[in-house]
Structure 1
Amino acid sequence: MYCGRVVRTKDPAVRTLLIERAAHMLRTREPITLRTLVAGTGVSTMAVYTYFGGMEGLWQAMRQEGFTRLAEALDQVATTADPVRDLAALGAAYLTNALASPDLYRVMFDAAFALENPAAADETLHCLVRTAERAKEMGRFRSDIDPLSLATQTWVIGHGLVSLVATGPLPREALDHGIAILTALFVSCGDAPETAHRSVTEGWRL
């Protein structure tokens, strides 16, 4: 009788556990080794090789997971007839995602670790670029506005706010300043003040 070798299926929960634990240890500046990483998790050090091929693969997976979760959050933002509202809603989704996974959020922008899929990470910004292009095409922004530049500025605003809130010193309520800041940005791009404020408020509150 032939007895084949049993192939164990990888458990996504174990992969997520190790990624989140490593990200937390980085944020709290705990020394990370194979043993300290798995301590108390119920999995062996071999799991790091099974799921990531080693520690280097784990670092890459951490950054990629951050962008993967951001992409999922942005995908959930509905596209409406108001692209300025949508742009603000994407900004709000960016903040919500960062506060939901603060440890991974900090690792996302650590260029010391390579990304598994840089194109997938770039797509999170291009999602905003396409929305800015729609607003420009509809006449909400001036014809000389560069959608990439505007999307980048929108990203910077969100990144600045959430960084100050997630790590202190600002309280969560400070995120509401995003409405005034984005409104001013979009008005500077040619949108009417009242229309911009209404669109931003609606999108940001989501």
Structure 2
Amino acid sequence: MRPAEHGHRERYLDAALAVLFDRGVTALTVRGVAEAAGASTISVYTRFGGRSGLLDALYERTFESLHGALEALPPESPDGIADLLDLAMAYRLFARESPARYALMFERPVPGFDPDPALRSAVVRTTFGLFIDRVRRVSPPGTDAQTAAYQLWTAMHGLVGAELMLASRTALPDWFIPPTDDANAQMYRRGVIAMMTGLGLRDR
């Protein structure tokens, strides 16, 4: 792709991401993105082939954003457990920053949209490679780090998913924890640590 064309494509993806952040998944239409980019709907069709292609490209961009957030963490330290916990907390922060973006990545908020399988495989492999590497550093001998990473991720995803769901509804006075960010962060942290302990992850 020529640099100029790449720049134009990024302009549309920036616009699509702005629509996603500001107006949610339902506003992710060709017309909505074209208007946000100050362009015509024809130009969106020309570059992405339609809404499905646009959504695939945005799906890829969201994973690139997560990958960037994890890559921006401080370099690995002698304390591998602390490093892994830092990554888990960064993951929660990423999800909390934009529930709509997180839903596009891991749920089915757009009826009929199923990301291209090859694209899904590529973005997951690239993004979660960083996560698996940190799990591998603290895995006991003989442990399948990829399996342990998956089990830990499901705990992280479940915790933050429940948090996002509850945040979108009226708070209950008799819920398990107060509806505050500090309380949710503490609960998430404790849950992640409990899962890491249960998996036997530790510094060697």
Match of 2:102 among 100, 105, 117: 105
What is the one-letter code of the residue matched to 1:121? V
Gaps (5+ residues) in structure 2? 168-178
Q: Give the match's secondary structure for 2:141.
A: coil
**Distance in structure 1 (CA, Å) of the matches to 2:95 and 2:101:** 8
Give yes or no for the alignment of 1:172 onto 2:174: no
Q: Match for 2:51 among 52, 55, 71? A: 55
Partners of 2:154 and 2:199 in 1: CA distance: 16
User: 2:30, 2:50 within 8 Å by CA — same for their partners in 1?
Assistant: no
Mapped partners of 1:57, 1:23: distance in 2: 19
Provide the aligned length of Structure 1 versus Structure 2: 180
Deviation at 1:178, TM superposition (A): 2.1
What TM-score, normalized to structure 2? 0.73
Q: Which residue of structure 2 aligns with residue 187 of structure 1?
A: 197
- Alignment identity in percent? 24
2:146 corresponding residue in structure 1: 148
Cα pair distance change 1:41/1:108, threshold 3 Å: same
- The alpha-carbon distance between structure 1 residues 44 and 91, as it changes in their structure 2 partners (threshold 3 A), is same
Residues 171-205 of structure 1, C-alpha deviation per residue, up to 9 Å, x if partnerless? 4331211222222222223357xx9xxxxxxxxxx
| TM-score for both structures, normalised by structure 1 | 0.72
The secondary structure found in structure 2 opposite 1:47 is helix
For residues 37-186 of structure 1, what are the structure 2 equivalents within 5 Å? 37-39=33-35, 42-78=38-74, 79-109=76-106, 110=108, 112-114=114-116, 116=119, 118-136=121-139, 142-169=140-167, 171-173=180-182, 174-186=184-196
Shift of the alpha carbon at 1:107? Answer: 0.6
Per the alignment, do residues 76 and 178 of structure 1 end up closer, same or farther by CA in structure 2, a change over 3 Å counting? same
Deviations 1:53-85 (A, max 9, x none): 322210101211111111001101221111111
Tell me which structure has the larger Cα radius of gyration. 1
CA RMSD of superposed structures (Å)? 2.9
Distance 2:11 2:101 in 1: 16
Q: Distance in 2 between matches of 1:154 and 1:161?
A: 11
1: CA distance, partners of 2:188 / 2:73: 17
What is aligned with 1:199? none
The unaligned stretches of length 5 or more in structure 1 are 1-6, 137-141, 196-206
Separation in structure 2 between the aligned mates of residue 40 and residue 191 of structure 1, nearest angstrom: 46
1:111-160 deviation digits (Å, cap 9, x = unpaired): 72226463232222222211111112xxxxx3343211221122122212
Runs in 1 of length 4+ with deviation above 4 angstroms? 22-26
